[in-house]
Amino acid sequence: AEIGGGSNARTLKIQGVKDIIAVASGKGGVGKSTTAVNLAVSLANKCRLNVGLLDADVYGPSIPMMMKLHGKPEVSKGNKMIPIENHGVKCISMGSLVEKDAPIVWRGPMVMKALEQMTRGVEWGQLDILVVDMPPGTGDAQISMSQRLQLSGALIVSTPQDVALMDARRGVKMFSKVSVPILGIIENMSYFKCPHCSKPSYIFGKGGARKTANEMGLGFVGEIPLEEEIRSGSDEGVPVVISHPNSAVSEAYGDVAHKI
């Protein structure tokens, strides 16, 4: 790990980490963390990669719950945090470091300091890929994070709804401003399949994210339905790709993992 010197002065290089990808969304509540978790677990278990998951959503860290992480990271001899591993993924989250339910009211410089600790101050070992669950939105914090993390690419999560797509566009523009390639758009909560008659209902509209991706010349990497197992998996700390590995949604997440 090195900071300082030349053009890398403002970036956070992490020794041993080959690629860092961000999972981002223009607004909250669209399923960004759920996507980050299921993608990271698929990359580890289906693609057989060494995967880390960094919960950079410092304002609302949900990875400890979704990945069932207990306790605080131990500190190594070299004074670095040892990630907490579960479901085959090494995780670090601000949620494991602060008291539960404590409101996190941080200003920009503190966020950047925390980010530095959560990247360079961690014993990641050799990682093929570090998945970063970004804070939602396109403000200054997200821009400076994207610049400093030296991202290989960003995956944008959106629902099919107009307002969410408008925010997704803003997210795409933000990443292009800081020259981070967009890996594609993934549509979440695409439809709901009736458990009784199997008929799909397009609750938030149909095909919105695919259309936006096409218009912007971006890849459309997949659609994930609204499903109870996805929600319960997140709440119980056993991601759906672990609890229902052969389901259609798990295959869809696996496809996304292979594409990126």
Write out the residues near ligand ADP by the rule CB under 6 A. 25, 28-34, 62, 136, 188-189, 224, 226-227, 230-231, 234
Closest CA to 36 of 113, 96, 92: 92
- In angstroms, what is the minimal distance from the CB of 35 to ligand ADP? 7
Nearer to ligand ADP, 182 or 230 (CB): 230
Nearer to ligand ADP, 118 or 156 (CB): 156
The rounded Cα 219 to chain-centroid distance in angstroms is 18
Handedness of CA 108, 111, 115, 121 (dihedral sign): positive
- In angstroms, what is the minimal distance from the CB of 188 to ligand ADP? 5
Amino acid (one-letter) located at 177? K
- In angstroms, what is the minimal distance from the CB of 82 to ligand ADP? 25
In the chain, which residue ranges form alpha helices assigned H by DSSP? 32-45, 63-66, 94-97, 108-119, 140-148, 162-177, 208-215, 228-236, 240-243, 248-259
Amino acid (one-letter) located at 35? T
Nearer to ligand ADP, 177 or 231 (CB): 231
- In angstroms, what is the minimal distance from the CB of 235 to ligand ADP? 6
- In angstroms, what is the minimal distance from the CB of 86 to ligand ADP? 17
Nearer to ligand ADP, 33 or 45 (CB): 33
Q: Quick check: 171 and 209 in contact, CB under 8 A?
A: no
In angstroms, the CA 172 to CA 163 distance is: 14
Nearer to ligand ADP, 37 or 118 (CB): 37
- In angstroms, what is the minimal distance from the CB of 12 to ligand ADP? 22
Rg of the Cα trace of the chain? 18
Nearer to ligand ADP, 45 or 234 (CB): 234
